[in-house]
Structure 1
Amino acid sequence: MNMNAPSFSSPFSSLFSRPAWIAIVVCGVILAALPLLNLAFGPEHPLHVSSYTVGLIGKFMCYAMAALALDLVWGYTGILSLGHGVFFALGGYMHGMYLMRAIGRDGVYQSDLPDFMVFLNWSEYPWYWWMTEHFWFAMLLVVLVPGLLAFVFGYFAFRSRIKGVYFSIITQAMTFAFMLLFFRNDTGFGGNNGFTDFKRILGFTITTPETKAVLYLVTLAALLGSLLLCRAIVTSRLGRVLQGVRDSESRLMFIGYNPLWFKLFVWTLSGVLCGIAGALYVPQVGIINPSEMSPANSIEMVIWAAVGGRGSLLGPIIGAFSVNGLKSWFTAAFPDLWLYALGLIFILVTLFMPQGILGVVQKLKKRIKDGETA
């Protein structure tokens, strides 16, 4: 599979079939029930779902939302990004600033400043922490900061008609540069350790099962909302133009369209969705640091989309759950071999499952249907 090929024939032409809608509803109900079962039943009850499982699935849903955002630009517009991790992490950092302010004087140094600032002899907050003690302002930053970075970066890249492998390389360079920047102690973002030890969110203790359940359900709602939004886009006239950009950008320009603004719109929206996913990820995991901007994390997002089936919306969600579920088991059983396993998975998918898991399902359904009509 040529990952940067200008033409991409997707078997997922209908979004979604009736069985797919039923599966989405059933999965949504099951996922929504997990935190409720955690709260309703004690650890000894057979219906009890552990807090660890709730937290793990919540994290997977954030990853699935990031993979969905990537599919919007890669699967439907043909823009392969190896730097979406920076949008994910920036959304997390913007929310993390509020969570650090919400600690108040409950830190180790009992100061109005976060512990890392006291340790580094900061006397006051830097200017870019202004208003971050307000939740609504932090949420505004969650949308604006990744969105602004995506818009500026995309404008200059697309205006210069950078595409294909060259675009992928500069996105990877972007996320690597941001990672190095955030590793510095003098940037005011916690340096190597980042943000952690969160205490409260909107006045509620962040570690209680009830708060975790609410965060989980908000994440599920955001994932389903993002799925519906992306479906509305790709099935609209705008979506057909985006697929025209993917399949033959020069032909699209010949008939009078300017691809710049279409690509810029979908690229910026994808960055915003990734930032929201990162903001939901941080309070559930309890930490955000520069390692989230590692180029390897962005490459993993590509693998999630490829494994599930890019250009399908549901595929990247399935891929995110599948790969990360396997990662959770593999890193516990064979911690030193996970990266080799991940590379092998991507090679096997590229060679034998170019349309991913959903592509295999579609082929099986077609064979069964052909057998019934024979």
Structure 2
Amino acid sequence: MRQPALSSSERRVLCLGGLAVVCLAAVPWFSSSYATTAMRDALILGIFALSYDLLWGRGMVLTLGHAVFFGVGAYGVAIATTQLQWSWLQGLILGMGAAMVIAGAVGYFLLYAGVRLHFFAVITMAILLITRQLATSWQSVTGGDVGILGIPGIHLSLLGWDADLSDERSSYLLALAALVLSTVLAWRLVRTRYGLVLAAIGMNEFRAKHCGFDTSWHLVLVFVISAGLAAFSGALYAGTAGVVAPDLFSILMSTEVILWVAVGGRGTLVGPLIAAIFFTRVQQEVSSYSTDLWPLMLGVLFLVCVLTLPQGIVGLFHRMRSSKGEAPVTKDAVAGAGGEP
């Protein structure tokens, strides 16, 4: 986890990020109860987008079933708190552990077998459909189509310290703190030597393998880390929303997280966070008028992003900055550099 020295651009991003966190922390004191709750859910889904950006943005592993891990984390907390009478923290450990075990098993059998690209995506989508069917059919545990209701709010008790985080203001601040912590840990991870190896695998796995790296092991590892982070966001969602349902395992949710990462900019970490928060709020407002309108808008946005923003909004911003900073290439400049005009 050794970190290189901070660059000037990274310092600017950290300063802007700190200012954004301060502004977000003030939301509960200046917004309505509905706006605070909606923004809290958007922050939690931002962690979900961050987990997928680690997998697809860095390792270039495309999956259509990432919602499996979000749902497993949510159901882990729901089952632990309502049926086993465990605490939220114990449910968090259960959900994250189950998600990481599933990711480790799937990743080992598929990635070590050489399954990549659209083959991996299709198989993970099949796993998502199987998981949704299991959540619907296993009524004695999952509640069936209705789901699990009455999940208690988040209450932390650790080493003699008790904190009730079930009210909307406390749960919002918890979601914000979890988002900041997850972002910092992910950022520090991608700046390490492991992050560089992962980026090299994403750019050209064949070359990285012939440089001596066990590419399958690195991809399985990032798959497990990504699954754990997605389950963490699902556990937060269950503890704050108070209800879980099989819709958490929907293809629509897996498609939405792809859109967030694609629009925000793959591999940028910050871009998918911004896109997830923005689109979640837009979805909440649009769905208040029509529940059928949002999937249509989602498909249109995805097509527009693929056709016009292949590098996402952050990539477009970087291109604009680089184009402004580059001097025009003239014949005199080329001749002065020793080349032919």
Q: TM-score, normalised by structure 2?
A: 0.87
Question: How far apart, CA to CA, are the structure 1 residues paired with 2:12 and 2:290?
Answer: 37
Question: How far apart, CA to CA, are the structure 1 residues paired with 2:173 and 2:218?
Answer: 32
Question: How far apart, CA to CA, are the structure 1 residues paired with 2:147 and 2:271?
Answer: 32
Task: Provide the residue aligned with 1:26 in structure 2.
Answer: 19
Equivalent residues of 2:50, 2:272 under 8 A apart: yes
CA shift in 2, pair 1:335/1:133, >3 Å: closer
Shift of 1:326: 1.9
Task: Provide the residue aligned with 1:181 in structure 2.
Answer: 134
Task: Provide the residue aligned with 1:299 in structure 2.
Answer: 255
CA shift in 2, pair 1:16/1:239, >3 Å: farther
Query: Does 1:197 pair with 2:150?
Result: yes
Alignment of 1:207-356 (within 5 A): 211-356=167-312
Equivalent residues of 1:51, 1:209 under 8 A apart: no
Q: SS where residue 118 of structure 2 aligns?
A: helix
Shift of 1:336: 2.8
The structure 1 segments of at least 4 consecutive aligned residues displaced by more than 4 Å after TM superposition are none
Q: TM-score, normalised by structure 1?
A: 0.79
Question: How far apart, CA to CA, are the structure 2 residues paired with 1:198 and 1:77?
Answer: 35
Equivalent residues of 2:95, 2:235 under 8 A apart: yes
Task: Provide the residue aligned with 1:78 in structure 2.
Answer: 60
CA shift in 2, pair 1:136/1:323, >3 Å: closer
Question: How far apart, CA to CA, are the structure 2 residues paired with 1:226 and 1:203?
Answer: 19
Task: Provide the residue aligned with 2:32 in structure 1.
Answer: 50
CA shift in 2, pair 1:25/1:148, >3 Å: same
Task: Provide the residue aligned with 1:121 in structure 2.
Answer: none
Question: How far apart, CA to CA, are the structure 2 residues paired with 1:177 and 1:66?
Answer: 21
Shift of 1:318: 1.1
Q: Which amino acid in structure 2 is aligned with residue 92 of structure 1?
A: A
Equivalent residues of 1:185, 1:192 under 8 A apart: no
Query: Does 1:139 pair with 2:95?
Result: no
Equivalent residues of 1:195, 1:289 under 8 A apart: yes
Matched residues, percent identical?
29
Q: Which amino acid in structure 1 is aligned with residue 194 of structure 2?
A: L
Task: Provide the residue aligned with 1:358 in structure 2.
Answer: 314
Equivalent residues of 2:153, 2:166 under 8 A apart: no
Query: Does 1:161 pair with 2:114?
Result: yes
Q: SS where residue 287 of structure 1 aligns?
A: coil
Q: Which amino acid in structure 1 is aligned with residue 300 of structure 2?
A: L
Task: Provide the residue aligned with 1:116 in structure 2.
Answer: none
Query: Does 1:90 pair with 2:72?
Result: yes
CA shift in 2, pair 1:353/1:185, >3 Å: same
Equivalent residues of 1:99, 1:200 under 8 A apart: no
Flag structure 1 segments of 5+ consecutive residues without an equivalent: 1-13, 38-47, 102-128
Question: How far apart, CA to CA, are the structure 1 residues paired with 2:166 and 2:139?
Answer: 36
Shift of 1:28: 0.7
Count matched residues: 318
Per-residue CA deviations over 1:54-84 (Å, capped at 9, x if unaligned) read 1111101111101110000101111011111
Root-mean-square deviation over aligned CA pairs: 2.4
Q: SS where residue 344 of structure 1 aligns?
A: helix
Stretch deviating more after TM superposition (213-222 or 271-280): 213-222
Equivalent residues of 1:307, 1:319 under 8 A apart: yes
Equivalent residues of 2:153, 2:242 under 8 A apart: no
Flag structure 2 segments of 5+ consecutive residues without an equivalent: 1-6, 158-163, 331-341
Question: How far apart, CA to CA, are the structure 2 residues paired with 1:148 and 1:68?
Answer: 20
